[in-house]
Amino acid sequence: MAENKIEILSTRRLNSQLSGEGEWQHIHVDANAFIHIIPDVSQETTAQIQSLALQPATVIFTSVNSVNAVTTRLTVAPAWKIFCISGATKDALIPFFGAASIIASAKNAILLSEKIIAHGNTKEVVFICGSSRMNHLPERLGAAGIKVNELVVYQTVATPIPATKDYKGILFFSPSAVHSFFSINTTPVHTVLFSIGETTTAAIEAYCSNKVITSPWPGEADMLEMVTTYFK
């Protein structure tokens, strides 16, 4: 590796193919998983999913993990009204449920809760989520008089790794990854931190005062574009 390469750490393994050419010619990325997702779909939970599929429910998805947990246990798309996070989560929903089933999407949970409330006539929702889900969405919906039934379908386990290099930038894709990273690491003041969204940014700012650049959209491609733009 050339000595002038900019060293970047991603706290999640990246799906994008980094060719090492073009915009990435001067950047080297170490990608390590700082959290591990464990499916948590028992026979009871599977029965709940299949029973829910027989009803015209209003369902919320905020992660690809929850989408995968549901779609792998259904053979036919149910007649649900779906609210979801934009980007990868929405993209994962469309092939199975169809674009018409998605009532609204937003780039974070706070904006999504506002869209659900503004939609009107929603008295009850099913929030399909993981064990480490944030409180923003259920709290805001509850305050608006909307009953939130949570269905947990995966567990998030911290897998911290020591950061042994002097990284110029670090990418964070979730608050859970932030907590995992800072459980054993600190960041030099010059390290720039890149965040997938405002909730993740808030988690970062609880640990350090480094410069944080927040992606306007919750997608890996947007995060990588921020990095290449910043280090041009």
Asked which of 16-20, 135-139, 161-165, 200-204 is least confident by mean pLDDT, the reply is 16-20
- Report yes or no: 114 and 137 within 8 Å, Cβ to Cβ: no
pLDDT confidence band for 197 (50 / 70 / 90): confident
| β-bridge mates for residue 10, sequence order | 31, 171
**Same CATH fold, 38-156 and 6-34+159-230?**
yes
pLDDT digits (tens, 9 = 90+) for 115-127: 999 998 899 999 9
Residue 25: the pLDDT is 67
Residue 75 has pLDDT above 60, yes or no: yes
In the chain, where the domains are located: 6-34+159-230, 38-156
CA 208 to the chain's CA centroid: 21
CA-nearest of 142, 218, 144 to 175 is 218
Tokens of 133: 């889900």
Per the structure block, which two tokens stand in for 213?
């650049």
Q: Is 50 exceeded by the pLDDT of residue 22?
A: no
What's the whole-model pTM score? 0.84
Q: What is the mean pLDDT of residues 63-75?
A: 94
Question: Which residue from 131, 194, 191 is spatially nearest to 167, judged by alpha carbons?
Answer: 191
The conformation of residue 172, written as its DSSP 8-state character, comes to E
Residue of 15, 124, 110 whose CA lies nearest to 62: 110
pLDDT in tens, 127-182: 999 988 888 899 999 999 999 999 999 999 999 999 989 999 999 999 999 999 99
Q: Is the pLDDT of residue 27 over 80?
A: yes
Give me the half-sphere count of Cα atoms (radius 13 Å) on the Cβ side of residue 60.
Answer: 31
pLDDT at 17: 55
Tokens of 191: 């390290």
Is the domain covering 38-156 a CATH 3.30.43.10 domain?
no
| Beta strands at 27-31 and 6-10: parallel, antiparallel or unpaired | parallel
CATH number belonging to domain 6-34+159-230: 3.40.50.10090
Q: Would the pLDDT of 213 be above 70?
A: yes
- pLDDT-above-70 percentage for the chain: 94
Contact 198, 110 (CB under 8 A): yes
Q: How far apart are CA 190 and CA 208, in angstroms?
A: 12
Give the tokens for residue 210. 């480094």
